[in-house]
Structure 1
Amino acid sequence: MIRRTTSGRRGSDRGGRRWGTACAVALLLPLAMGQSARADPDDDPQPPPPPPTSAEVLARTDGVAALLVRLQDLRHQEEQAEQQSTARDAELAARQGELDRANGRVAAEQQQVDASEAEAAQLAGDEYRGGGLSGIARFLLSFAPTGLLTEAGDLQERSRSEADVVHDVRDRRAALAALRDTARQARSGAELAAGQARAARTDAERQAADVQARLTTLDPAQRAQLDDREAALADQAQRQLLASGVLGTGGGPATPAAATAVTYAMAQIGKPYLWGGTGPDSYDCSGLTSKAWEAAGVPIPRTSQDQWAVLPRVPLDALRPGDLVIYFPDATHVGMYLGGGLMVNAPHTGAVVKVAPLAAMPVLGAVRPAP
């Protein structure tokens, strides 16, 4: 596991488009040159100028460096708040489920208490209608020997029944009180979780608004420079990662389940990022990975932090397609590894699901949803 601290935290849309179209450009350029040569054999076609290096781009975009750092920080705060909001929503759903189950048990036990109390009332009514005397008193006042024996047997049976009913009422009332206490605790937990969910959602919405507000202050030239600088930083980090040999030769081909998850994730390319999104029209980072593995029949935790906490860890030199790469020290972003040092992810507000270099953000580690 490695941690990267380069300021290029996220791949930009422009960077993603460069990685996604590089192969197409490489294929089309020789073809276009060949057609030009055939059209006019006397011409001496000049080779296209080489693309600027990452160092050249970074030198040219020094003026927006601080702006990019601030924007990346806002994006990270937004995603951190979004993941917390999603986790709090899940906690609220769990607490509400506990409350519903507790209330159901209270209702069922109340029915049992009502039935036991009705039976006790019936016995008391029978006793009263028998002359207002207790069974023991009637037994003692009986004179006929045969009636005495009969009354004794009836009293013994009745006494057992009355004792059973009394114990039953007492026990069921105690059980009902305990269940009501459990339900009160569940209600308190649900109310606390609801408050936390509302606060987390408000925080996430505020962070998203901050990012959008920052973006609206930029002119097209600044946006282009930001995109160029972010792509150059990602390219620089990717080269360093590959040169370090930390990826090794990989962990082999994808399993059938992993291949299904990768296919699902790749089919979402171009769909917009939306915090809390789980498809089919938009996704956040962990919404994409959780839905992709769900499509493969493997349920995994909903948030990137829970995915990092729960799923088995895998070293970077054993990565194989379908594994999840977790980013930032607080595990607030996740992408799905594709092989060849690339991953697919839903990056941030204003971006779309896309393929990006593995090192586009600081890597925390990787996990594998299925053996």
Structure 2
Amino acid sequence: MGSQGAQQGVRDVSGERGVRGVRGGRSALCTAVLLCATGLLGGTATAAQRTPAPTPSPDADARHLDEVRKEIEGLYRTAERATEEYNAAEEQVQLQQKKIVELARTIDTAQRRLAVLKRQAGALASAQYRTGGIPPELKLVLNADPGAFLAGADLTRKGQQAVKGVIGQLTHLKTDLEGYADDASHRWERLEANRKKKDAARKEINDKIDAAKTLESRLATKEKARLRKLEDDQALLAQQKWLDSGALKEITGKASEQGKKAISYATSQIGKDYVWGAVGPDTFDCSGLTLQSWQAAGRTIPRTSQEQWRQLPRVALKDMRPGDLVIYFSDASHVGLYVGDGAIVHAPRPGRQVTVAGAGSMPILGVVRPDGERTG
């Protein structure tokens, strides 16, 4: 498709939605003003009523809508950042729960072993009591039979080793149990901390999404169409600037076999709704889509965009190839899967669907390769 193909693809996404609606709105407004001026809306209107209200200039109207766009975009960006924090906390909660269950099983096994050792120690103590409590060493000294003395010495040594072994095992096992209990306690504390972090992130996500939806709901239908076009135009402008930089000319890499599988999965999800915290199969958030795409290719990658950026091998932008993940914004809060020709597939935000977009339509932080080799 090349750079022109990528530009055309983004133009197709932006389209011309809302143009006819805006023109119709202006025509209706002009008609209403004319009717008021001629008295056809009420013959007894006062002079003030007969004077038409000033019509906002197109420039002022455009500035207002752009301010609304920026505010909505900011709210969704904050929600997306909180979504990735929620995803990370959720992953940690599941990990800690699994570890606590494993520790509980280990503690149960250790306690059973401890009970066995205590019974053995009790049996040894009872045997000593039945012999009158005379130390085995003294009994050997009092034995006049040399053969019996030697046999008794061997038995005594084995008995002493058995006692020491039981006591040693009891001591080590008690120490291990204390360690397991401390570990379980610390993990429980971290579990609770992550749960609180997750709840806080969930509240922030819902608050920001609700605020953005409320702000958007105040717009008239025609304004919503214009807002969508404005968003698309801004993305197109950023993409064009990226293409004009010559970045795409340097990108000539070919997809690996696993990369092709990841692309196939991602593109087959186009049209499905964005839902925060979702990992498919019916809805996705941005990192949920990349996670499942590479899972379908046979690679397990980190859950969140931040961890994908932190843990996966990084490659230079000029070395990017289809299947790589493009990480966006300085906080690594968004991610898309590069499909070639300057385009990505991504799950944008609430209220939008999985779609194709220009790889340069958002500020690029860097590129990572799920099937690459780590260096250093």
TM-score by length of 1: 0.79
Cα distance change on mapping 1:217 and 1:130 into 2, 3 Å: same
Residues 61 and 229 of structure 1 are in contact (CA less than 8 Å); yes or no, is this contact kept in structure 2?
Answer: no
Q: Could you tell me which amino acid in structure 1 is paired with residue 160 of structure 2? A: S
Q: Could you tell me which amino acid in structure 2 is paired with residue 66 of structure 1? A: E
1:253 aligns with 2:254: yes
Q: 1:102 corresponds to which residue?
A: 103
Where 1:248 maps in the other structure, the secondary structure is helix
Where 2:348 maps in the other structure, the secondary structure is coil
Q: 1:158 corresponds to which residue?
A: 159
Q: Spell out, residue by residue over 1:158-194, the C-alpha distance to the aligned partner (whole angstroms, 9 max, x if none).
A: 2332233222222322222222222222222222222
How far off is 1:20 after superposition?
A: 8.2
How far off is 1:124 after superposition?
A: 1.0
Residues of 2 paired with 1:177 and 1:107: CA distance?
A: 13
Q: Could you tell me which amino acid in structure 2 is paired with residue 18 of structure 1? A: D
Residues 247 and 319 of structure 1 are in contact (CA less than 8 Å); yes or no, is this contact kept in structure 2?
Answer: no
Output the aligned Cα RMSD.
Answer: 2.6
Residues 58 and 229 of structure 1 are in contact (CA less than 8 Å); yes or no, is this contact kept in structure 2?
Answer: no
Residues of 1 paired with 2:117 and 2:239: CA distance?
A: 73
Residues 102 and 186 of structure 1 are in contact (CA less than 8 Å); yes or no, is this contact kept in structure 2?
Answer: no
Residues of 1 paired with 2:277 and 2:195: CA distance?
A: 17
Q: 1:50-199 alignment to 2 at 5 Å? A: 61-136=62-137, 138-139=139-140, 151-199=152-200
Residues 109 and 176 of structure 1 are in contact (CA less than 8 Å); yes or no, is this contact kept in structure 2?
Answer: yes
Where 2:253 maps in the other structure, the secondary structure is coil
Q: Could you tell me which amino acid in structure 2 is paired with residue 185 of structure 1? A: H
Q: Which has the higher contact order (CA 8 A, sep 6+)?
A: 1
Residues of 2 paired with 1:145 and 1:79: CA distance?
A: 87
Q: 1:290 corresponds to which residue?
A: 291
How far off is 1:300 after superposition?
A: 1.3
Q: Spell out, residue by residue over 1:186-235, the C-alpha distance to the aligned partner (whole angstroms, 9 max, x if none).
A: 22222222222222222222222222222222221110111121111122
Q: 2:13 corresponds to which residue?
A: 19
1:343 aligns with 2:344: yes
Residues 305 and 330 of structure 1 are in contact (CA less than 8 Å); yes or no, is this contact kept in structure 2?
Answer: yes
Q: Gapped runs of 5+ residues in structure 1? A: 1-14, 23-56
Report the number of matched residues: 323
Where 1:281 maps in the other structure, the secondary structure is coil
Residues 237 and 361 of structure 2 are in contact (CA less than 8 Å); yes or no, is this contact kept in structure 1?
Answer: no
Residues 306 and 333 of structure 2 are in contact (CA less than 8 Å); yes or no, is this contact kept in structure 1?
Answer: yes
Where 1:112 maps in the other structure, the secondary structure is helix
Residues 287 and 304 of structure 2 are in contact (CA less than 8 Å); yes or no, is this contact kept in structure 1?
Answer: yes
Cα distance change on mapping 1:153 and 1:330 into 2, 3 Å: closer
Q: Gapped runs of 5+ residues in structure 2? A: 1-8, 17-57
TM-score by length of 2: 0.78
How far off is 1:87 after superposition?
A: 0.6
Residues of 2 paired with 1:152 and 1:240: CA distance?
A: 93
Bigger drift between 152-161 and 208-217 goes to 152-161
Bigger drift between 131-140 and 268-277 goes to 131-140
Q: 1:257-296 alignment to 2 at 5 Å? A: 257-296=258-297
